[in-house]
Amino acid sequence: MEKKGLRSKVFLVEDHPIVRRGVANLINAESDLTVHGESADVNDALRRIPVEKPDVAVVDLSMGTGLLGLQLIKDLRKSGVEIPILVLSMHDESVYADRVLKAGGQGYVMKAEDTSQIIAAIRKLLLGNVYFSEKVVARLLSQRGSAPANGETREANDLGLSDRELEVLQYLGSGKNTREIAAQLNLSIKTIDSHREHLKEKLGLKHSSELLQYAFRWVQSQS
């Protein structure tokens, strides 16, 4: 969206230099958009975005030790930053779209999609709209507030899992043990054990082996 011939300013938050450079080149090639700032670190982004005041931010969902992009969105909203935020992620949109909306984001584009969708999404957010796939929008509208019938196995993305619980589930399905997950997330082993117990309860599973099998299948379904 151009204002008086000026390009709309985009701030990029992405920890992989090659990906960040590719997205920046894509944006800068457009006549109405320009990359106004870049950051590979969420703390740096949290400091700079309120100061540099871009028109829109494009944020990677998973950085460093977990879903730090999601936390960045929450922190920006808490600090009063109201610019539209687009998530660009390798993770399945159907799993994280609702969480992005609840955190305060307005759009989601998977990295596997055509690059033209990134530009289309940015422009849509600049117009004050949201950008999600038709499939996800339909699911959010139809499933919000609904619950599965008695006896059905509930899917992880339809449960009331916290963001941290979803991270733990993802790490379990990727083959990491409790100690490794604790080190990855900078949490105690006791805390990870607690998350595992909550996961079993919410997923309706009795044994740790069932949780590991579920986590593995879930991660495979997202690839």
Q: Token pair for residue 134? A: 């038709």
- Which pair of structure tokens corresponds to residue 203? 């997923």
- The domain segmentation of the chain, as residue ranges, is 8-141, 156-222
Amino acid at 149: A
List of residues 6+ apart from 38 with CB closer than 8 A: 11, 12, 13, 14, 20, 24
Which numeric CATH code is attached to 8-141?
3.40.50.2300
d(CA 199, CA 159): 10
Residues 6+ apart with CB under 8 A from 129: 106
CATH architecture assigned to 156-222: Orthogonal Bundle (1.10)
pTM of the model: 0.71
Q: What is the pLDDT along the chain (223 residues), one digit of tens a residue?
A: 444 468 999 999 999 999 999 999 999 999 999 999 999 999 999 999 999 999 999 999 988 767 789 999 999 999 999 999 999 998 888 788 888 888 899 999 998 889 999 999 999 999 888 898 877 776 665 654 444 443 344 556 556 788 899 889 988 888 888 888 999 889 999 999 999 999 999 998 888 888 888 887 877 676 5
Number of H helices, E strands in the chain: 10, 5
- Residue 147 CA to residue 35 CA, distance in Å, equals 42
Which two three-digit tokens encode residue 50?
Answer: 């309120």
